[in-house]
Structure 1
């Protein structure tokens, strides 16, 4: 009797574990994912995309989407309860069409359920999949979330991470939505059509691998055929996302430093100072907020810091730039730990940001001239308190109060930037 009871218990346990991955009805999946789908719209232009909640850090809600949905745009996020959320942080992969957004919930934890991530390696041709998102509506009007069915048509390896194609009735605006298997788990991030993939890849066909070129030729043939144009959609396997989540030092998109270079080339130092701060906000994905936090400085993109520094050094005849500031700071005994606050005061005085033994200089008191200004005098705007430079606030005595505040708190974000990259 005892052995029969044990057999029954193990059988029940086995059935319960197996049921976790059992196929669900399309209605069950549609209802289960509803509160995890996020509408991503744009603040200053028409158009939108889709995203979905995934596991992330405590204290924020994490949204996974396609990079091309968010590149170069100021965003609004709307959840299924019709609440609007302000984007806290935007991170994007430099090589994959993937991006992650975060927003702060009202409480300590994210109230929206994260979708379960499946095994994209187990996907096979003819497998049934589902996609949820917000398709465009002709003539505008309220966007309605849709849930559509499709079949996997191919498993190829393309640029930007694309690897699963499927036949499904998706439309513009659904990019960034989840591709789900029959158990309701995410196996891919929905992205582009055949026509879009072909247009992207043909621009740099010569750099593709033989396998990628073969897949491109097949997709191009389908598009050229006319009858099947846009029939197949493409997604990025979720395993690709899971294996490439280290984006802390990556900007949303490679910034264009043309304007900064033009300003520096003609000696418009003040305007170049402000443009440098704007580009730093862009690199950190902080343009929507207009200010940054210490973690943004600590994780700043070294390639972008070097690019901006190179321009400042070049056009100032090596008098201005982050690297020049770093050398002076270190020559005075400065460290990242800020063990000696007197060093930072001497640095302020040495580069001409502060009167000796006195207050910080205002914008009008700075010397925007490479011939008369102290070495490392610029760029300056980035090193102001975040609210001062980004929001235009501050005033007499405010910077002095700020530095007293960071001293008492033990913060060191200006040094964190200057010493963050070894080869600066």
Structure 2
């Protein structure tokens, strides 16, 4: 339902009054009315990485849900809980990532009737515009199970689409929680204008920015998938690279490094590098074990201190551990005259064996034990 308000300004000329009737001005819905829409279209996704989603389409008894790729990219069983509390199994072969953005579409079958959202135009969102975010926050110290949340806020910034990493060009003040990734971003008319997906902590200030992907971006990249989903066996997408949650047994995947930007490494700088490496090892191992206990199992998602996105996919407690580790590592590097970028550049040189001879000639106390270079550098390069 759309509301209109009519303004009738009066221009007085002498004793005569000229009445000018303007065209209607759209008045937004109340927050309660928008929430009613949000509740009807938002689903809960349970699985390896709990999250949320939005019913985006229906064809016969097949419903399509739009969510974040990082919500459903890990292998395993997923279920969708609809607004009426019903649960439906997701076929893992029908989980489709969308190219170059952190979005995916999944499907479930039901004879029930569920609401689809009206799509808005995210291009009309400017700083100061009111928006709402809904989703299913995971359990915390107070809630013993996932719970539906509806949060208001305002657009605080816009990024150029071609410069926004993984499509996250909407920035807003809505305080979202883990588990709300994949939930809808709605405008004042209750129209779907984006998909919520990130909360990035600035390790320098502790401040948090909240990000979403415009619905316009989804429409642009989804044209190849309209009408059907191609079955996949969790085929890797462009997101399964340096900014993915790809898991490796007991390791952390190194970030990409521009080898060409690496200048010649002096013996003094190499010794500082090895000294920092030695100091970071026990810190890393302790943090790694603590995070592994929190996430469970033997695998830890990729964590990159130079990529804040990777930290935000962790549960809050694990994220705090990772952020603290990154701060301590940054201090160790600074004490040894290095930055994260320079550390990664030297690491890349070592992994390419470009500095092997220099390592062999370094101070004996700082040399790495045989066979330790490859594994430990891959751990320490990013986490």
In the superposition, the TM-score normalised over structure 1's length comes to 0.45
In the superposition, the TM-score normalised over structure 2's length comes to 0.50
The structure with the largest strand share of the pair is 2
The structure with the largest helix share of the pair is 1
Task: Compare CA radii of gyration and give the structure with the larger one.
Answer: 1
